[in-house]
A and B are shown apart, each in its own frame.
Chain A
Amino acid sequence: MISRLETVNVSKRYDHLQALDNVNIGVLSGRIVSIVGVNGAGKTTLLKILAGLDTMNEGKILVDGKEASQEELRACSTMVFQKSIMFSGSVYDNVAYGLRIHHVPSRDTRKRVLSALKIVNLESFEKRKANKLSSGEQQRVAIARALVIDRDVLLIDEPTANLDPTNTTIIEQGMKEAAKSHIVLLSTHNLSQAKRLSERIIHLHKGHMIEENDTASFFANPMEERTKLFLDGELNF
């Protein structure tokens, strides 16, 4: 079980765009940490690097104090994307995918899939075609699909963007459940969601880490001027 995930001077460039610039964060298990920031802040890029899905130009990532390779990061984490992508087939097939490719016995697979579907209130949806579900239901399937493989690090990118309150509540409950035994890093620009769910908040802006603080202090007494502007909705892209 991983208890700490850190980035050390992580930088990422795309051609002429500096997506991340010397980002240093630390996340502990058993809590939700939110990354907030305006569009283009580098939130998704950071999550993709932590998930081992993208490379960095400079810096390193430490897992329990030890430098981790891209493969090692992929082995200990999983990511839920903003746009929920469904494999063709049933809800069950989607959630079971990560277990089947690792040849988990079908009995165990069934037990784990049903338990994950229960967390996101989709127990009765197992036979439904995933592509025919609403976007909120698809996002709940995506959360269940990530939870079922039980990786130590769960990276969730804007999971409730454009979703109705009911689906949002169910997904948030799923994330809280996951945070009991995982490192959960949530990227969001929904500040009320970050306030509701997280113990700590990281503010990114144009690839720079502006502030990392506990939730109460972040909202009540932000240390940085740009965080104050962001909270007031006055920080430009």
Chain B
Amino acid sequence: MDLGEEVVALDPIIQGIIQAIELIISGDPEVYRITELSLIISISGTALSCIWSIPISAVLALRNLPGKRVIKGLFNALIGIPTVALGLYLYLMLSRAGPFGYFHLMYTPSAIIIGQCILVTPIVVSFTTSALESVDPEVRTLAKTLGASGMQMDAVVLREARAGVLLAIVAAFNRAFAELGVAIMLGGNIRDLTRVLTTAIALQTEMGDISLSLALALILLSIVMTLSVILSFARRSST
């Protein structure tokens, strides 16, 4: 392939990127609707997961429990669970014939939120536990000798580990935001209802609408990268 052929091969990609930028700048309602729904679903899934994941982490890191190592190992192993496998399992649970079919959750944003919060739980638990365990144990002793109660000692450790906890939450959000399997199997990619960035990218690519796919992919990447930059600033200022 000579240089001229390479330029021709790159042309649709460059064209796609230009059109994608135009779509974003012009405020294309479809692009923004999909982005908004993706953010709402992933933020809800992550936040919901934090409600139980952070207390579980605190117990695993700060209390002596029988089988603690096994539980931590299990959560670590579940970090890499394939989203399609989880999606399939939850599909069987939530579908009409499944044990939770009564709630009619299939193909709703709630189903994706449930799936994503289960998906990210091992990430929040594992990362938060290790962040809490990395705090100098003497911090608790110090708080104790300054008159802190048991809860106040835990709060101090959580505060000292906040950069790591924040990392856990951002990593969980990124995983939820960028996953496809759960969103497509439980949401069904229904326009204006359950179509999120990843499912839309897959669909538009299949349909040959590269510019819309690229616009959505650019948004996806920029949100994930912006969060990473904010996180690194937050971590630096928290020390």
Chain A interfacial positions (CB closer than 8 Å to B): 51, 53, 74-75, 77-79, 81, 83, 85, 87-88, 97-98, 101-102, 129, 131, 145-146, 149
Q: How far does the alpha carbon of A205 sit from the alpha carbon of B149 in the complex, in Å? A: 34
Q: How far does the alpha carbon of A190 sit from the alpha carbon of B145 in the complex, in Å? A: 24
Q: Can you list 6 contacts pairing A with B, beta carbon distance less than 8 Å?
A: A78-B145, A78-B146, A79-B145, A81-B138, A97-B143, A101-B152
Given A85-B136, A131-B239, A74 and B142 contact (CB-CB distance below 8 Å): no
- B159 within 8 Å of A (CB atoms): yes
Q: Which residues of A contact B133 (CB under 8 A)?
A: none
Indicate if the CB atoms of B139 and A87 lie closer than 8 Å: yes
- B148 within 8 Å of A (CB atoms): yes
Q: How far does the alpha carbon of A63 sit from the alpha carbon of B143 in the complex, in Å? A: 23
- B147 within 8 Å of A (CB atoms): yes
Indicate if the CB atoms of A85 and B139 lie closer than 8 Å: yes
Given A87-B156, A88-B160, A101 and B147 contact (CB-CB distance below 8 Å): yes
Indicate if the CB atoms of A85 and B138 lie closer than 8 Å: yes
Q: Which residues of A contact B145 (CB under 8 A)?
A: 51, 53, 74, 77-79
Chain B interfacial positions (CB closer than 8 Å to A): 136, 138-139, 141-149, 152, 156, 159-160, 238-239
Q: Which residues of B contact A145 (CB under 8 A)?
A: 146
Q: Which residues of B contact A131 (CB under 8 A)?
A: 239
Say what secondary structure dominates the interface of chain B. helix
Contact of B147 among A53, A81, A83, A102 (CB under 8 A): A102
Q: Which residues of A contact B147 (CB under 8 A)?
A: 74-75, 78, 98, 101-102, 149
- Among B138, B142, B147, residue most surrounded by chain A Cβ atoms (within 10 Å): B142
Closest to A151 in B: B147
4 more contacts with CB within 8 A, not counting A81-B141, A87-B139, A101-B146, are A74-B144, A77-B145, A97-B143, A102-B147
Task: Kindly provide the distance from the CB of A54 to the nearest chain B CB, expressed in whole angstroms.
Answer: 9
Task: Kindly provide the distance from the CB of B132 to the nearest chain A CB, expressed in whole angstroms.
Answer: 14
Q: Which residues of B contact A81 (CB under 8 A)?
A: 138, 141-142
Q: Which residues of A contact B142 (CB under 8 A)?
A: 81, 85, 87
Q: Which residues of A contact B148 (CB under 8 A)?
A: 101
Q: How far does the alpha carbon of A129 sit from the alpha carbon of B138 in the complex, in Å? A: 19
Task: Kindly provide the distance from the CB of B167 to the nearest chain A CB, expressed in whole angstroms.
Answer: 15
Q: How far does the alpha carbon of A74 sit from the alpha carbon of B239 in the complex, in Å? A: 29
Q: How far does the alpha carbon of A78 sit from the alpha carbon of B143 in the complex, in Å? A: 10
Q: How far does the alpha carbon of A83 sit from the alpha carbon of B142 in the complex, in Å? A: 11
Indicate if the CB atoms of A98 and B146 lie closer than 8 Å: yes
Indicate if the CB atoms of B138 and A83 lie closer than 8 Å: yes
Q: How far does the alpha carbon of A98 sit from the alpha carbon of B159 in the complex, in Å? A: 15
Task: Kindly provide the distance from the CB of A86 to the nearest chain B CB, expressed in whole angstroms.
Answer: 9
Closest to B137 in A: A85
Q: Which residues of B contact A79 (CB under 8 A)?
A: 145
Task: Kindly provide the distance from the CB of B5 to the nearest chain A CB, expressed in whole angstroms.
Answer: 57
Task: Kindly provide the distance from the CB of A46 to the nearest chain B CB, expressed in whole angstroms.
Answer: 15
Q: Which residues of B contact A149 (CB under 8 A)?
A: 146-147
Q: Which residues of B contact A97 (CB under 8 A)?
A: 143, 146
